Structure 1
Amino acid sequence: MDLPRIHYRLQHAKLHIDADLGKYDIQQPRPTFEMKRIDPKLDIQQPRGDLQIDSSKARDALGQGGNLEMMHRIYSSARNVAMDGIARIVENGNRLAAIHLGGNPIADNAQANLTGFPEMDYAGPTSFDNVDITYTARKAQIEVTPGRIEFNTKVNNPIVEYRRGKMEIYMKQYPNVEMIPPQIDMKV
């Protein structure tokens, strides 16, 4: 016995895909670079030196020294001056006593007495080194601030652009199922 069969015809679906690749556009900008120079600084200060001039010995040699030193010299030399004065008086007396030898001893004695007291020297000793000069130099103050270079670097991010490609999807063939029934003989 022959059983009736159902036939079918199957048509598969067909998809059509048309795709183009996308495009990338990548740019890398250079980094931003800034350089700043800070100059070195030099600060020099020179304090004035100390100059001391002591001219007291020179004033003393000119007879303009202090009263205490002058009086001390007069006091120290008074004994010698007195002894020299006595010797001069004795010498003048001997000259006057020798009047018989001739000359003019009275006029000579009068001339010697007009000059004053040259033996009373109250001035200090004279010397080429009577002025003392002392100079104290001050050390220079030097302050150095070193210079430097400052860098400021900034990395710029890349610029990325993407352009999409074409993408088409469509049905090229639709699916189909066709069922073919068997022929049934109804005469039987």
Structure 2
Amino acid sequence: MQLPQIRIESQPVIVNIHTNDAIQEIEQPQADVQIRQPQAELNIETRKGKLTIDQTQAWEDMKLYSPLRSIEIFAQEGKQAWLEGIARRAQEGNQLMKIENGGNAIANIAYQKVKPETLNYNIGWIPSHFSVKINYEPGDVEIQAQPREPVINITPQKPIISYKPGSVTYQLEQYPDVKIDFVNLTNAGIGFETTI
């Protein structure tokens, strides 16, 4: 026994699709920024250092006196010499007063006036050590700074956006098709065709 046969032929659909991409452009202008920096307030107060040099003793060690000091010293030396002169004359008077006791008083007085003076010499420094007095008072600096905040103004700019939409086009190139053949082998030549 032979069974009938079915023959099916199909044709797929063919679609041609064309696309155009969308275009988007974004431009961002720079923001407007203004910055102003006020100057800081700066206050500086200084006190000068003080240097004092006293070389009075050094000058006096070299026998160089100021006018007032020289008057004072010479007055003291004159008074001392005057007192020594009075004492010497009193002593000489006493010696002469007792001339009758012998002892050659006039010759002794004359010798004392002309005898060589004994000089004492020793190694020393003129002026003496540390005769110059130095005193220093350091200065001082006081700094006061008052900072100032910067003044910032910002104006933002909106972005510039342009958009061009894309598109899709399509075209049907081939329609779908299905062919069905039914063949009965017992009755040759009998059949039908169906198209969908």
Q: After TM superposition, is the score higher than 0.5?
A: no
TM-score range with shorter-chain normalisation? 0.3 to 0.5
